[in-house]
Amino acid sequence: TQLLEQSPQFLSIQEGENLTVYCNSSSVFSSLQWYRQEPGEGPVLLVTVVTGGEVKKLKRLTFQFGDARKDSSLHITAAQPGDTGLYLCAGPIYTGANNLFFGTGTRLTVIP
């Protein structure tokens, strides 16, 4: 059983559309991070959410941490081809842990 389940697993949309990616767990996380990874490259950190209910915005990307800190969402408005990539959520395995546990990933393709 995966600690962090992401949905959908694959998403293909037209440029200009909006989308939401979900990261769910039955466990409470002290924080969650979102990464984007392009083929052949390492993940790049987009945001870290720490407080339950927290909302962070990064240009067209809106990240939310669930009130109970068990889930998070990433919403992209007016998607662009440059948003194409693998989106990963990740969190420390336990509070204060050094290492991260990664979600199952969502592969997004934005078609021009």
The residue ranges that bind another protein (CB under 8 A) are 30-31, 33, 35, 40-45, 48, 88, 90-92, 96-105, 107
Nearer of residues 61 and 88 to another protein, judged by Cβ? 88
CB of 31 to another protein, least distance (A): 5
Nearest alpha-carbon partner for 74 in 101, 105, 98, 111: 105
Q: Cβ atoms within 10 A of the Cβ of 82, count?
A: 9
Nearer of residues 12 and 77 to another protein, judged by Cβ? 12
Nearest alpha-carbon partner for 71 in 19, 9, 10, 6: 6
CB of 16 to another protein, least distance (A): 26
CB of 85 to another protein, least distance (A): 13
Question: Are the C-beta atoms of residues 66 and 54 closer than 8 Å to each other?
Answer: no
Nearer of residues 6 and 66 to another protein, judged by Cβ? 6
CB of 34 to another protein, least distance (A): 12
Q: Give the CA-trace dihedral at 65, 25, 78, 57, to 10 degrees.
A: 20
